[in-house]
Structures are given as C-alpha cells and as structure tokens.
Amino acid sequence: MRNVPLSRICLDGESWRVFSLEREVEAPRDEHGRVLARDVDGNHLIPTVSEELYEKGFRVEWPGGRRFAVCLTHDVDWAYPPLWHVKKALEAACSRHDLGAALLWGLGSVSKWHLYNPYSLRQVAEIEAGYSATSSFFVKATPRELLDERYERYYDLEFLAGELNRLIREGWEVGLHGGYLSYNNPEALIREKAILESVLEGYKAAGVRMHYLRFTYPSTWLAVETAGFKYDTTLAFPDSPGFRNGMCYPFRPVVDGREIGILEIPLAVMDTTFWGYMRLQPQEAFGLISKIAAAVEKVGGVLTILWHNNTFNELLYGEWSRMYRRMLSHFKSRGAWLTDCLSIYEHWLSFYG
C-alpha cells in the first residue's frame, strides 16, 4: 500500500477522543496531579490509534529497513546514591557475604563517588555500545524546590559535566529532566535548559522529559514549545505500560486545532511502573514488555523505554538490572533500530516533516 502522510489521515470518533486526550479530561488526578491508566477507559496495552493509521496506509520507513524502533532513555534522578541507598546496598552486600561489593560502595562513599559510582552513566552507555545502540539521558537542572529537595542533595550538575560531555562526543544524547514544578511553566523550563546547557560544551538540549511524568494537556506541550525544545517524551501513564493516547508513532500535538511546533515521542515502558505500581515479578514484566514490543513491531512504530540509571546497579536492583540487556537482545533479534530520541526526531523530520 502507498505511504500516506500522517497529516492527511483523518481521525474521528473514538480514535480522535483517544488521540487528542479528550477521554481523560474528566479523569481524577493523583497526588502528583497525574492522570493514571486505571482511571481512563480503554486497553492501554495496544496502540489503537497507530493501528488505525496503519490500516489506512500510513507507513514508517526506518533506517536500514529495520522493522521498528526502540528509543532508549534514562531519567537521571540520582547523579550518585543517596544515603539510604548506601545503607540498603551495605545491608544487601552483608546478607550475601559480598565483601567486594561492600568495599566498592564504601570506597565510592568516602571518595564522594569519584572513585566508584554505582549510578554512573558510563556503565549504561557501555552496555548499549555492546548492542550498537545509543540512548538519551535526561538530566535535572532544577534549583532546590518542593519535592525535588530530597533529590537536590544528591544532585550536582558539575559532578556530571565531564561524563555528559564525553557521552555527547561519543554519540549519546543529553536532554533536560524537567523539574517537578516546571512541567507547565515555560519560564522555569527556559531557566533549567540554560543551566543544563551551561555545563555542556556548546551543546543544545533538544528534548525534555518531566520528572514524575507530570503532564497536563495542553499546558505542558505549550510550555515545551515556548521553551524552545524540539520534542517532548513525557506522554505516558506512570501506573501502566502502554500508550496514553493510542500512539506508538511520534506525532505533532494538536492544540486548539493547531499542530504545534514540537514532536511528541510517547513513552511506553518505565521500569518503576512494574515494581512500584503493578507489583510484578521481573519475569512477568518481561512478558508484558515483549507483548507491547510485538504490538509496536506490527505497525512499525517506536517503543520508548525508560530505565533509570540507578536501576542498572545489580546489588540493589538484581533481576531488574539484568533485564535491560535481555530486552536489548530481544529487540535486536526482532529487527529493531535501537537508538536515542534525537535520532528518532531527526529521522522522523526528514521523512514526515
């Protein structure tokens, strides 16, 4: 079937209600002001709108004829471990009689994480390099404020600067992890973007994901546009994997009948959803992720994954930490393009505008 541009395909009825987020206007909000999947009707595990677009002839061509894309992302909530993580790690090391791990954490702690950092971004990039993949790191640049406070004590942009600049030189992406209070405040996002870029050697942050996945329609999209970002990748449910507006294709959000000047790359899978909200075992989560990936593959879409940098620590996160490699092997065997948000953005623009 001939390729049809997304903008020429009309959505109506239920599809429009899902795509435009109309179905969640009346939904209650949780204590962080977020809409949860459990309060919105429909099957969130299926990209229903993308399926309809696919049936109507929309096709995506991925580089090298790949079947679909996997967009790998990491929200850097911790630059290094907070004290209570150190305590948990030492307890875990003792209960396993793992003297080596205990010594490493001790060395890290006394050297202020310069000699050993269990949450280092480098270890993440090294894993990805083994799969010829890159990813996006979303980094906080928020002045101390409500609910970010407990993080700020363990967050130092200067500490991360050397690592971030090296990752950028090697082809990884660095974006902004928008502050808890900044998700619909363009001035705050402009300030944070400038703070982040002040430690990045001439590099401009193209995209943003909001802390706690805080997102309000349409103010978050408008704030992201006003702040000068090229894309947002916040749209997701915190309590369920899947597709908040039925889309696994990137798209230009529509606000008051206008396609605004950013691309949304919807998020489908977040690590903390599985243990924090769904109380799943790693094996069950992997089954669910594989199902969702198959649904994305069917329509040649994008599966965006959020795996926090701290989840890579095996001592604290065990099977969840090892699952990342397992996912990458699986996606690669299915013919996916494993890449970062900016590469998706640039590819999308060159084909679809």
Footprint of Zn ion on this chain (CB under 5 A)? 75, 77, 211
CB-nearest residue to Zn ion: 211
CB-wise, 75 or 128, nearer to Zn ion?
75
Q: How far is the CB of 213 from Zn ion (least distance, A)?
A: 8
Q: How far is the CB of 288 from Zn ion (least distance, A)?
A: 22
CB-wise, 66 or 211, nearer to Zn ion?
211
Q: How far is the CB of 211 from Zn ion (least distance, A)?
A: 4
Enter the tokens of residue 321: 């930490």
CB-wise, 51 or 75, nearer to Zn ion?
75
CB-wise, 224 or 293, nearer to Zn ion?
224
Q: How far is the CB of 159 from Zn ion (least distance, A)?
A: 17
Q: How far is the CB of 77 from Zn ion (least distance, A)?
A: 4
Return the bridge partners of 232, or none. 208, 264
CA-based torsion, 277, 280, 286, 292: positive or negative:
negative
Q: How far is the CB of 306 from Zn ion (least distance, A)?
A: 9
Q: Are 122 and 165 in contact (CB under 8 A)?
A: no
CB-wise, 19 or 180, nearer to Zn ion?
180
